């Protein structure tokens, strides 16, 4: 049987979930990680070159008939996310008929920014998707959106732009969770490789539990790979949520409703959760 191809986000945000994942628990060639940025993972899932793993929650919403969500996994925040920032020359209230450069690595955050600008600031800026490079983006736009490690690095070296955390803005205006990524599986895979999927899902949950029980190990690794302080990584990882509770689902479905209202999604998406115990269960 060909390996289950599992996506892996190439940002430090997923380290607590992957650090203790034991690929050697599986028979040879049963599982394979595909490390890519979110927009490429989204594309791989849609094309069938990736079977399961984290994708942008927006992409799940766009294609929810094809996918199920794995229980108890996400990348979310209730308030500050600390790695998704709009950098701007002007205060956000003054960003009306301006151009905003968007990272080409995201799907959730670029659409979240559109929701925030339209619904909360009554603004309709022009958007241009570009490679994630703050200097080049700001050379052609008044504001720029970055996610993941690009946003972390730019926030540490910010040359003086206003910085807006999109998780914080969403929370300020809705009081809800923002779910940026979900672990999705293509339906044909959840049907044809049920047992393997159950084992992979359980391994993710075990790895997540250990990732937080032994957060110091994960933090030391992040510090070694990316720099910054122990304190920063602790705050970052404990400020993110990797769970998927009914409250997360409510926030996500409200985000889908907003996206549909603005025509960013053709319809508001329903979230169907696959779980190892009960196949499909309500959260
Ligand atoms: C917290 C983050 O969440 C993410 C944001 C995503 C998006 O905008 O599409 C997708 C996956 C996650 O990496 C981040 O990238 O910083």
Tens of pLDDT, residue by residue over 104-121, are: 999 999 999 999 999 999
Does the beta carbon of 182 lie inside 6 Å of ligand 1?
no
Using CA positions, which residue lies closest to atom 4 of ligand 1?
Answer: 180
**What pLDDT score was predicted for residue 282?**
44
Terminal CA-CA length for the chain: 31
State the pLDDT confidence band at 159, using cuts at 50, 70 and 90: very high
Q: What is each CA distance from 274 to 208, 244, 277, 282, in whole angstroms?
A: 18, 12, 9, 9
**Ligand 1 pocket, mutate which of 7, 9, 109, 235 (most atoms under 8 A from CB):** 109
Tens of pLDDT, residue by residue over 40-67, are: 999 999 999 999 999 999 999 999 999 9
Is residue 283 pLDDT above 80, yes or no? no
Q: Distance from the CA of 239 to the center of ligand 1, in angstroms?
A: 14
Is residue 74 pLDDT above 70, yes or no? yes
Q: Distance from the CA of 210 to the center of ligand 1, in angstroms?
A: 22
Identical fold between 4-77+178-281 and 84-174: yes
ipTM value, please give it: 0.98
The answer to whether residues 21 and 218 touch, using CB atoms and an 8 Å cutoff, is no
* Rounded-to-integer distance, Cα 270 and Cα 280, Å: 13
CATH number of the 4-77+178-281 domain: 3.40.190.10
**What pLDDT score was predicted for residue 81?**
98
Q: Distance from the CA of 1 to the center of ligand 1, in angstroms?
A: 31
Tens of pLDDT, residue by residue over 2-51, are: 789 999 999 999 999 999 999 999 988 899 999 999 999 999 999 999 99
Q: Which homologous superfamily is 84-174 in? A: Periplasmic binding protein-like II (3.40.190.10)
Using CA positions, which residue lies closest to atom 12 of ligand 1?
Answer: 181
Q: Average of pLDDT values for 198-226?
A: 97
**What pLDDT score was predicted for residue 276?**
66
Is residue 281 pLDDT above 50, yes or no? no
Show me where the domains of the chain are located.
Answer: 4-77+178-281, 84-174
Q: What is each CA distance from 25 to 12, 21, 200, in whole angstroms?
A: 24, 9, 10
DSSP per-residue letters across 131-168: -S-HHHHHHH-SEEEEEHHHHHHHHHT--S-EEEEHHH
Q: Average of pLDDT values for 220-240?
A: 97
Alpha carbon 131 to its chain's center: 18
Tens of pLDDT, residue by residue over 118-152, are: 999 999 999 999 999 999 999 999 999 999 999 99
Q: State pTM to two decimals.
A: 0.96
State the pLDDT confidence band at 278, using cuts at 50, 70 and 90: low
**What pLDDT score was predicted for residue 52?**
98
Burial (Cβ within 10 Å: 0-12, 13-18, ≥19) of residue 159: exposed
268 Cβ contact list (under 8 Å, min separation 6) = 61, 253, 256, 257, 259, 260
């Amino acid at each position: 049987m060909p390996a289950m191809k599992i996506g892996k986000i190439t940002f430090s945000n997923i380290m607590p979930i992957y650090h203790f994942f034991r690929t050697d628990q599986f028979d040879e060639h049963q599982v394979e990680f595909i490390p890519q940025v979110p927009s490429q993972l989204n594309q791989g899932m849609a094309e069938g070159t990736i079977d399961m793993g984290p994708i942008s929650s927006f992409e799940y919403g766009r294609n929810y008939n094809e996918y199920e969500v794995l229980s108890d996994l996400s990348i979310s925040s209730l308030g500050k996310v600390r790695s998704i920032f709009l950098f701007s020359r002007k205060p956000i209230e003054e960003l009306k008929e301006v151009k905003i450069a968007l990272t080409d690595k995201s799907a959730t955050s670029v659409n979240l920014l559109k929701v925030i600008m339209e619904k909360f600031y009554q603004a309709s800026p022009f958007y241009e998707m570009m490679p994630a490079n703050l200097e080049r983006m700001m050379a052609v736009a008044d504001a720029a959106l970055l996610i993941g490690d690009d946003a972390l690095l730019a926030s540490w070296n910010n040359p003086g732009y206003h910085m807006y955390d999109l998780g914080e803005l969403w929370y300020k205006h809705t009081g809800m969770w923002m779910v940026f990524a979900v672990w999705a599986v293509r339906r044909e895979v959840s049907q044809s490789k049920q047992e393997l999927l159950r084992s992979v899902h359980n391994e993710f949950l075990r790895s997540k539990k250990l990732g937080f029980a032994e957060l110091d190990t994960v933090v030391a690794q992040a510090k070694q790979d990316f720099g910054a302080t122990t304190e920063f990584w602790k705050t970052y990882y404990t400020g993110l949520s990797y769970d998927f509770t009914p409250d997360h689902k409510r926030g996500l479905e409200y985000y889908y409703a907003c996206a549909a209202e603005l025509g960013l999604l053709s319809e508001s998406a329903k979230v169907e959760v696959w779980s190892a115990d009960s196949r499909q269960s309500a959260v």
